[in-house]
Structure 1
Amino acid sequence: MSGTDQFSSSLLHQLESILESDPFIDEVGFVHPSQFAAISDSSMSLEVPLENEGENDASNMAFWSREHKLGISTHVMQPLYIAAKCAFMSSLEQYRTRISLHKMIVTFDSSSLVSIENDVLKHSKALLLLSCDFGTAWNGRKEVVVKKQDVILYLDELKFSSLVLSYSPKSERAWSHRRWVIKMIAGKYTDLHEVLSSESELAKRIAEKSKMNYRAWNHRCWLVSYMSKSQVVDELVKYRDWAGLHVADNSCFHYRTRLMTRTLEDSWHKEDSKATPAHIPEVSQLWKEELTWSEILLKRYIGREALWLYRRFLSLYWIKHFAGHMGETHVDLFVDSELQLFRSCTTIPDNVFEDFQSQAMFAATYMMWLITQMDEPQSVETRDKVGKELEEVLTKVFPEKAFLWDLVRAKSGGLIGV
């Protein structure tokens, strides 16, 4: 073995020793050698000489470990990656060979297989911390874990993928691995309450730190299908204030959309298969509260398109699943409340700001959209009530879009096909 190979192997051994000695490491980062001087503490850090073997200053440090946080020097990433990849590929090949021999009913030492399994997990862990999208390493972990069928190992996989996400929050491989683990756990255990709660919290925390993280929100939406009725309600209520502080985040409201549609699924009223959501008090009350909350946000935060899009979703489903089943009076009451909302949001103060103009435009297009979603008699009646006001708003705020009202008017009158 050359000196370079020995150095690389030494680095890998040290990294794996750190990971093994502290199983509670929850964050990893990559640090430039010059930054080690600011964070170094000889009693809390691990040192490996990089160039001059006799030097032990901060610039020669390879790893830093403290309070369950791990720093890896960018200076050693290449040799460390090469050593980790070689070690992992070798252990994976040995593992697959042993499994093949087992299928051929060839006698072998089971303790030796356990040792090789541990090597696959150990080396893949180091490798994925350096290259989180190395698919073969994730698949190798799956092969070992699924064979053992131990829930503790599945939970360890969730913990490890969280560590990967601490430095690569948009890693599709890491998020996909978490979904695989949850599917495996769900196949063996029916109670996922604690796992799903921690998953939702993790996704929320990562979304806060990593803006526009579609993968985190997509993962959170995926979790909803596994949630119980009580968990769905808890998620809606618990994170309502949080959503109110992130009104520009469309992904946040897409998640609430997924939660709300979950309340309409058959599993919610399986006790009475003939019941509609409107006839289930807890469901209709939940939608009423969400509509009220949505209106408060629309009036509080001026000109936020994400809020108006969410309002469209709530209104459409309210008309489809609730108001119509409750009777014509409820439809009329809902339409009247939406007209009041429209009027309150189209008042533009003398000190004109762009946000108020945007608010008026969104309110106008919302009302035109709502008219097209109603049955023809109700649509025509609403059109007649608000038509003049809509024309005035469009002419004042967005004259080049005024023709849209002509289209809506014709459509609601049955002149244009839906």
Structure 2
Amino acid sequence: MSPTEILADPLDVMARLLAPEGKQNPYPLYEEMRAHGPVVDVGGVHVFVTGHAECARALRDPDLLSTDAAVQDVKLPGWRDHSSWYWLTKNMLFSNDPDHERFRRFFGSAFAARSVAAWQPMVERRAEDAVRNVAALGASGETVDLVPEFTFRMATGVIGELLGIPDEDHAGLRTIVGDITLALEPIGDLAQLVPGDGAMDRLAEYFQELVARRRATPGPDLTSMFIKARDAGGELTDEELVANLMLLLVAAAEAPQDLLSNMVRLALEHPAKGAELRDVPQAAAGFVEEALRYDPAVQALNRVASRDLEFFGVKVAAGVPLTLLIAAGNRDPRRFSEPHVFDPSREDNQPLTFSGGMHYCLGAALARMSAETAVPRLLSRLPDMALVGTPTFRNQIVQRGHDRLLVTTG
């Protein structure tokens, strides 16, 4: 930037980022924010973080709190009247120690490396089902929307089977999961939580009934395993069990859906790289990591200072919120060469997309496995698949992903 150029005001950048146009392509706006530096102090009342190292530190700093009930009491008065956030603050993602450690200990062992490796045959079966579905729908030249027919079907099929959710219930969960993620967006009016409230109420009722059924008739699924452990140890309340089961479903359906959608789009937009993903099995891991870096499903996370502290030279008072612009950190030129270039061969690729520290995503290994399995299989089965029109994104910025992804299968 030349000395004569005027930096855009950070609050104006955020306002444009939260507008519908900004959500379709936020990356130029992240660069406007980055022009202020890796840590942007807005009058001592808010901090935006754009740097990779700075975001990575913030995700691991015990003095920077996740948005739990106590934080929300200050940040969003009136939230307790809304069931979306009532249930969110009872899961591990929106809690701090000691509750977070208790939840993480209870649920974490189920997602250990040995367990995830044993799920490979199931993941392959679900991938085959999703690919076969797309091939059938597009067999006569019809346009197919990959979001419901491939990416959501795959993601929900995997987590649904693990949790013991019957296949016939999966499709009906799509709107519910999508509405719940709306509650995570920055809001100016509590009325914006209403769609998420209704969705959360329906999902809570669904899981309460599922827990009752599995308690009466246990199966080989994780829900039955968690119920048995809860009833034996009393480490969680039934309400906490339900809240975290809802989290597992929503987190393992929406973000992996968006990862799968982004991978397919990127493969079709970069035909040579897509062909390598299709034809070279070893290319899948690098393609997944670069998709996670280049266009992450999770674009931003929030933290709040628990005490007065200094963060990379910026004084942050207790109670001040920090918005970690994860997607900006993933394109930090100090960390990545040519950060705006999609390069699956990139070495030492460390995207921030699965968070870090004690909040590192429990399902990260499962999401990677699903993506490495399903997308190459889709491209191999349908090598002439092509995009129809310009892909568009949902009107969201925290959990950003395609609303539709139209293709012909060739």
- Which of the five TM-score ranges fits, normalised by the shorter chain? under 0.3
Q: Which has the larger radius of gyration?
A: 1
More strand by share: 2
**Structure with more contact order per residue of length (Cα contacts < 8 Å, sep ≥ 6):** 2
Tell me the TM-score normalised to structure 1 length. 0.18
Tell me the TM-score normalised to structure 2 length. 0.19
More helix by share: 1
